[in-house]
């Protein structure tokens, strides 16, 4: 079997014109989301790990305080969507590069997509349905500022 | 024609036993790509875990505080330091990739930009690691 290797600058042959070039949009997405993620993640790391006593201060009350404001809810949800899709697309690229067996590749790609969908849905629901007074806590351990039911 | 194009990319043969170099192989372009992949995969797997540990906030204060206490363990503290160092390389080298793709002089300055990435990486690590390691290794309040 001989493989034809085209010259590097040979234009890509378009078999069907007018179809969406997903690889191009994926390529562009990695760059656009990358810039946004740089701001979002460095901000996240600065607030959570650098300010104050850093990781020592992170507990339920710290996160509950953040999620009391729509600003941090949206910060985290936008970061979640952008990062999960950015990371999953990167993993897809790597799987396509190294997994040469058709079935193995397919299983890995489905796994990556499933993980992305499950974690995006889970994370979004967690942030937007979070209520410090309505977790699955025994009533006697409820936080002091919560109304008594 | 393809052969001709390929040969212009090959540098002079060296007398060493290593394979003949190219513009890419063994140089900053290749190593930045290797590091970008390794850091990217590491960050991806942390992200999967991090979404799940944060989801504990929805279960109960006890569940969240229990999972967070594992992150405050010194070994995990070293792991977090490595994670942030990986994120910094991936972020700075990502900007370099964007500049190579979109800036007209990006390809020309890719090697210089690689060393700028390394410099920012060292500065960022020097800024972050002492703060985080101090927080991890001093007694809880």
- Which tens digits make up the pLDDT trace of B61-103? 888 899 999 998 899 999 999 999 999 999 999 999 999 999 9
Question: Domain span at residue B41?
Answer: 23-137
Whether B51 and chain A come into contact, CB under 8 Å, resolves to yes
Positive or negative, the CA dihedral B113, B119, B123, B124 is: positive
Q: Does the distance separating the beta carbons of B44 and A129 come in below 8 Å? A: no
Whether B48 and chain A come into contact, CB under 8 Å, resolves to yes
A39 by Cβ neighbours in 10 Å (0-12 / 13-18 / 19+) ranks as: exposed
- Residue B14 within a domain: no
Number of domains in chain B: 1
- Residue B3 within a domain: no
- Residue B87 within a domain: yes
Whether B49 and chain A come into contact, CB under 8 Å, resolves to no
Q: pLDDT tens for residues A100-137?
A: 999 999 999 999 999 999 999 999 999 998 887 766 66
- Each domain of chain A, given as residue ranges in start order, spans 25-133
Domain of residue B28, CATH code: 1.20.1300.10
- Residue B60 within a domain: yes
Name, in order, each residue with C-beta under 8 angstroms of A142's C-beta and a sequence gap of 6 or more. A133, A148
Residue pairs spanning A and B at CB distance below 8 A: 117
Q: Which CATH class is domain A25-133?
A: mainly alpha
């Amino acid at each position: 079997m001989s493989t034809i290797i085209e010259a590097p600058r040979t234009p890509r042959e378009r078999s069907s014109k007018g179809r969406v070039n997903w690889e191009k949009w994926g390529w562009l997405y990695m760059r656009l989301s990358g810039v946004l993620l740089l701001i979002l993640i460095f901000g996240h790391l600065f607030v959570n790990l650098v300010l104050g006593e850093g990781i020592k201060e992170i507990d339920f009350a710290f996160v509950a305080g953040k999620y009391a404001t729509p600003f941090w809810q949206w910060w985290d949800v936008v970061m979640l969507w952008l990062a999960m899709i950015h990371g999953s697309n990167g993993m897809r690229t790597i799987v396509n590069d190294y997994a040469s067996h058709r079935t193995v590749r397919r299983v890995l790609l489905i796994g990556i997509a499933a993980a992305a969908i499950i974690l995006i849905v889970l994370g979004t629901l967690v942030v937007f349905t979070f209520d410090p007074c309505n977790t699955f806590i025994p009533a006697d351990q409820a936080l002091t500022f919560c109304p008594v039911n | 024609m393809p052969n001709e194009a390929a040969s212009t990319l090959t540098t002079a043969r060296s007398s060493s036993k290593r394979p003949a170099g190219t513009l890419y192989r063994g140089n900053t372009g290749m190593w930045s790509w290797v590091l970008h992949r390794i850091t990217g995969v590491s960050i991806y797997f942390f992200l999967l875990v991090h979404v799940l540990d944060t989801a504990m906030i929805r279960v109960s204060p006890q569940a969240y505080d229990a999972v967070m206490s594992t992150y405050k363990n010194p070994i995990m503290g070293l792991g977090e330091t490595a994670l942030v160092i990986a994120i910094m390389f991936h972020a700075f080298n990502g900007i370099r990739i964007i500049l190579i793709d979109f800036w007209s002089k990006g390809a020309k300055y890719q090697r210089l930009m690689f060393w700028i990435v390394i410099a920012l990486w060292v500065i960022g690590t020097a800024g972050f690691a002492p703060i985080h390691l101090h927080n991890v290794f001093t007694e809880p309040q």
